[in-house]
Amino acid sequence: MRRTALLLALAVALSGPLHAQHATKIGNAAMTTAGKLREQALQADTGWKVVESLTTEVGPRLAGSEADARAVTWAIAKFKALGYDKVWTQPVSFPRWERRSESVHVLGGSSQSLHATALGGSPGGTVEGEIVRFADLASLEAAPAGSLAGKIAYVDHTMSRARDGSGYGAASRIRTRGPSAAIRAGATGYIMRSAGTDLHRNPHTGITRFDEGLAPIPAASLSLPDAQQLTRLLDIGPVRLRIALDCGWNGEYTSQNVIGEITGRSKPNEVVVIGGHLDSWDQGTGAIDDAAGVGITMAAGHLIGSLPKAQRPARTIRVIAFANEEQGLHGGVAYAKSQAGNIRNHQIGAESDFGAGRIYAFQSKVPDYAKQALGQIAMALEPLGIEWRTDGEGCGPDVGPIASLGMACAGLAQDGTDYFDYHHTPDDTLDKIDPQALAQNVAAYAVFAYLSADAQGDFGSAPKPAEAGK
C-alpha cells in the first residue's frame, strides 16, 4: 500500500463512531524510536546468527527427543546471551512420538522403493495391499464402509502454491482427516501425496490424528515425484504396495516453553507477546519451521532491550520459544492455561511461524478505539514494504489458544510462496533462508512490539470464554 492509500485507509478506519476519551494512541517519541529500531534491525544480523546457532548446534529437534532438551538449554542460554532481563521456563507435557525407520515399496514387476515418510502420530506396522487412488479427501470420505478392505487408500491431491499458503488448508486436511476416513472404509494402510509444492524427493511429514474409536493404521506421505510415479504406475495397471513403518507413541515427555523478557519501563506487568516455536520435525533442521520465528523474535526483543533505559517501552516484551507446536500446539495451550486469569495484562500478541520470507502485510482485528494506534504501527511498518490490511485478521498457531481466551492478536503476514517447498521435509535447512528477508522480519517485529508495548491504551484484550477446538 502506498502512503497516500495508507492514510486514506487510516481515515476510513477512523470514520466510525470513536470513543475519543479512550482512543489508544502512540506518542511521537515512540514513533521516532521505532524508526530507529527499524533501521538498526535492517543493518544487524542477530536474527540470522540465532537461526544459524539453533539449526547448527542443536539441529533437528523433534518434540520429546533428546534434542528437545538440548534446544531448551540452548534457548535459555541464548536469551541470557542476548541480554534479556528475565529468562524463565514453563513445563509442557505431552505424549512422545518416535520415528525409527520407514520404507514404502512397489511390489511386483515394477519393484522399486518410493520416498515416503510416516505421518506424525502414525502407528508402526507393515501392511501390503493394492492401492486405491482418490483424487481428493471428499472422494475418500464417500467410500462405502468395507469397500477398501485389505487395501491401501491413496489420496492424490496436488497442493497449489500461493503467497499466503492458502493451498495448505485442503492439503493438510488430507493429512489430518484422511487416515480416519480410510479406516472407516476398511483400509489397512494410508498414503498421500505430500502437502507440498516442490518437486524433490523429500516427503513432507506432519501430524495426523485418528478419530476416537478407530484402530489406527500405518499412514505415510510420498514425496511429490514419488506420488507422480505412483500415479503413472496406476495408469498402467493395479499396483501393490508395502508400507513398513517403525514408529509410534512412547510414553510422556515434559519439555519447556522458554521465555525471555525485556522489562517494561512503567507497566512491567503488562506484556506484548511475540515468539515462535522451538521444536521442529525430525528430518530437517527446522530452519524455516521455526528457527526463523525464534530468531526473528529473539532478535527483535534484543534490539528493544538494547535501547537506553529511558527509551524502553512502557510494557514488557515477552518473547516465547514455544514447546511442541508441531504435534498439537502443546506449548501454546500450556501458556494459555497458565495465563487464563491474566488476559488483560496481555496487550497484544503475534507469532512468527510461516518461514523467513519477507513480511508483506500487517493485520489485526481490534476495537474501533484502537484503530488509530494500529494505523500508527502500520505507518511505521510501511517503509519495510508492508501494507496495512484493515480488513484482515491474523494470529500465529501458538498464540491462538490465548487469543481464544481474549488476548488481542496481530498478524505479520510473510511471503510463503516457497514455504511449502521445504515445510516438514529434510530440506528445511539454513540455506533456504535469505538473510536480508530475515532482517526485514526482525525490523517488523521490533517495530510492532515496541509500538504496541508503548501505546497509551489497549488493543481490546479482555477475557472471554475459551473457544472449543482451538
Interface contacts to a second copy, rule CB under 8 A: 52, 56-60, 66-67, 70, 106, 109-113, 115, 199-202, 224-225, 228-229, 232-233, 236, 284-285, 425-427, 429-432
The residue among 113 and 436 lying less far from a second copy, judged by its C-beta, is 113
Q: What distances in angstroms separate CA 13 from CA 6, 372, 390, 413, one per listed residue?
A: 10, 8, 7, 20
CB of 432 to a second copy, least distance (A): 8
Shortest gap between Cβ of 325 and a second copy (angstroms)?
A: 20
For 169-187, b/e burial (b = at least 16 CB within 10 A) is: eebbebbbbbbbbbbbbbb
Q: How far is the CB of 208 from a second copy (least distance, A)?
A: 23
Nearest approach in angstroms of CB 447 to a second copy is 30
Nearer to a second copy among residue 230 and residue 410 (C-beta): 230
**For 13, phi and psi rounded to 5 degrees?**
-60, -35
Shortest Å distance, C-beta 422 to a second copy: 9
- H or E element at residue 414: strand 410-414
Give the amino acid at 269. Answer: N
Cell of 89: 521456563
What does the alpha-carbon distance between residue 107 and residue 20 come to, in Å, rounded to a whole number? 72
17 φ, ψ (degrees, to nearest 5): -65, 125
* Nearest residue (CB) to a second copy, 285 versus 441: 285
C-alpha to C-alpha distance for 450 and 52, rounded to whole angstroms: 25
Minimum CB distance to a second copy smaller for 32 or for 113:
113
Closer CB to a second copy, residue 67 or residue 323?
Answer: 67
Rounded to an integer, what distance in angstroms lies between the CA atom of residue 276 and that of residue 353? 6
- Residue nearer to a second copy on the CB measure, 51 or 185: 51
| Residue 192 beta carbon to a second copy: minimum distance, rounded to whole angstroms | 18
Minimum distance of a second copy from residue 286's CB (angstroms): 11
In whole angstroms, the minimum distance from the beta carbon of 189 to a second copy comes to 21
CB closer to a second copy, 236 vs 468: 236
Q: What is the dihedral of CA 232, 234, 240, 243, to 10 degrees?
A: 50
Task: In angstroms, give the least distance from the CB of 199 to a second copy.
Answer: 5
Cα 290 from chain centroid (whole Å): 7
Which is closer to a second copy, CB of 284 or CB of 332?
284
What one-letter code names the amino acid at 28? N
Cell numbers linked to 35: 524508526
Question: C-beta of 200: minimal distance to a second copy in Å?
Answer: 5
Q: 136 with 157: CB under 8 angstroms?
A: yes
- Least separation in angstroms between residue 105's CB and a second copy is 11
458 cis-preceded (ω within 30 degrees of 0): no
**237 versus 341: smaller Cβ distance to a second copy:** 237
Sign of CA dihedral 457, 458, 460, 466: negative
Start-end of H helices in 147-291:
168-184, 224-236
Q: 275 Cβ partners below 8 Å, 6+ apart?
A: 293, 294, 297, 318, 319, 320, 321, 322, 351, 352, 396, 398, 399
CA–CA gap between residue 206 and residue 120 (Å, rounded): 5
Q: For residues 25 and 70, which CB has a smaller minimum distance to a second copy in the complex?
A: 70
If the CB atoms of residues 35 and 225 are measured against a second copy, the closer one turns out to be 225
Strand partners, 134: 155
* Residues pairing with 254 in the sheet: 93
